[in-house]
Amino acid sequence: MSTTPETPQLYAAREPVFPRRVSGRFRNLKWWLVAVMLGIYYITPWIRWDRGPNMPDQAVLVDLANRRFFFFFVEIWPHEFYFVAGLLIMAGLGLFLFTSALGRVWCGYACPQTVWTDLFIQTERWIEGDRNARVRNWQAPWGFRKGRIYLTKWTVWLLIALATGGAWVFYFTDAPTLLRDLIAFQAHPVAYTTIGILTATTFLFGGFFREQVCIYACPWPRIQAAMMDEDTLTIAYRDWRGEPRGKLKKGRLDPEQGDCIDCMACVNVCPMGIDIRDGQQLACITCGLCIDACDEVMDRIGKPRGLIGYLALSDELHEKQGKPPISVWRHVFRPRTVLYSVLWGGVGIGLIVLLLMRTDLDMSVAQVRNPLYVTLSDGSVRNAYEVRIRNMHHEPREFTLALEAPVPMALDLEGIDGFTVTIAPDEMLNQRLYLVAPADSPAATTQRTDVTLRATEPESGQVVAVETLFNGREN
């Protein structure tokens, strides 16, 4: 543990970042995205969707207890989990597509860490003021004023965090009921625990950890590098235009000097606390705020915009040779992104087709092979089968079971006279049935016979058929 004085500190303490307010194209876009995404997150659980009696009327609901997922008109059963797998594949391909085309656009605009940090910084700005005021507060000794300001800030953060954690649990059970229970302290402990954990993580991640989550904790920046190439758009500083940088002196424009006036605007607005002029770096989440800040300055000093802008690696060589900038669309549309789009769209279309083609009826037949067959007293051979029929409707349904066999054989249902079974709503029926082949019939004396079992709903005419085997005495 003892460190000698000359040993350098390997682990530098975090230097707090106080991003300055900025306005411009990307800032506006980001506010819109924050509003839309937080809106979706908070409002979705409160949308109602009528599904008839005894069914939840929440449009989006993950009903873990009853193992159902509801999404508007779609109802996913556990055996249809491949839809979730498909959506995850789409999410993966989508990230490939966006990363190869637009770099870390997810990090800069859509990642919850970015969105909530943005919200927290804005809150901080409302309560304390802009960058300079916040730096002053930070450096001020602890006292009544600092305590009051920080306490106010933390309280508002905590309320935002509580709303975040609170909204999450509404996705898992009926939102109005849960809200009433939560307020009355009658909700399930799991709900309180979940809210508590998410409130704590939101508060800490958005208020205190901020850029450190992206730099140290998140694996995504490391993985992204593998998906970026020389055409991927990232944010870069046109050093061939900006350097040598130097202060702007009133009235005197040094012809030797580049366009960068070293005003630090790009650094001061950066939520990650980096200097984009150092080049592309791991900590840059490509949020675009430095572009806005620099454009503002360029406008003021009468220089063209775009000293900092979205650039691809290939642009650097190209522009250094004095050629005009390459269109952004040329970078975005290239074989790689087209291929990702095609794959992404293919999986999406596949899922939609599956969704439209899926039946609300599911039948499976498992042959009882212990014993393989049973000889009855008149010498006939009997096979038993476990039939499972799932009724995915919300009302009871009747089905008539029938046998289709190439040779004489009789169908018989355990415990039921006739061939009609009734299945309760949202239930699975387990029914044993028997096939009996007469003593000297072909099916009884051979090894096996292919047969088909059919379930027909007389009311709708819907049919589901399953092929299976009949084992004869030759086994």
d(CA 153, CA 124): 6
Is residue 397 near another protein by the rule CB under 8 A?
no
233 or 248: whose CB is closer to another protein?
248
Residues 253-272 that bind another protein (CB under 8 A): 262, 264, 267-268, 270
d(CA 239, CA 316): 9
From candidates 66, 321, 327, 377, binder to another protein by CB under 8 A: 377
61 or 287: whose CB is closer to another protein?
287
Structure-token pair, residue 15: 């230097």
From candidates 176, 279, 350, 458, binder to another protein by CB under 8 A: 279
- Give the distance from CA 329 to its chain's centroid: 27
From 105-113, 133-141, 145-153, 340-348, span contacting another protein (CB under 8 A):
133-141
Size of the site for another protein (CB under 8 A): 49
Cβ 299 vs Cβ 305: under 8 Å:
yes
Is residue 138 near another protein by the rule CB under 8 A?
yes
201 or 462: whose CB is closer to another protein?
201
From candidates 92, 325, 350, 371, binder to another protein by CB under 8 A: 371
Residues 195-254 that bind another protein (CB under 8 A): 239-240, 243-247
Is residue 370 near another protein by the rule CB under 8 A?
yes
Q: To the nearest whole angstrom, how small is the minimum distance from the Cβ of residue 474 to another protein?
A: 15
Q: To the nearest whole angstrom, how small is the minimum distance from the Cβ of residue 3 to another protein?
A: 5
274 or 291: whose CB is closer to another protein?
274
Structure-token pair, residue 366: 């498992």
82 or 240: whose CB is closer to another protein?
240
317 or 338: whose CB is closer to another protein?
317
- Give the distance from CA 3 to its chain's centroid: 45
* 248, amino acid identity: L
* 47, amino acid identity: I
d(CA 240, CA 290): 18
Structure-token pair, residue 375: 């000889």
3-state SS, residue 397: strand
Task: Classify the C-alpha dihedral 308-311-316-320 as positive or negative.
Answer: negative
Residue 424 CA: distances (Å) to CA of 57, 355, 386, 465: 21, 23, 18, 20
3-state helix, strand, coil in the chain (%, to 5): 45, 20, 35
Which residues of the shown chain bind another protein in the complex (CB under 8 A)?
A: 1, 3-4, 6-8, 10-11, 15-18, 135, 138-139, 239-240, 243-247, 262, 264, 267-268, 270, 273-275, 277-279, 368, 370-371, 374-379, 382, 384, 414-415, 432, 434, 439
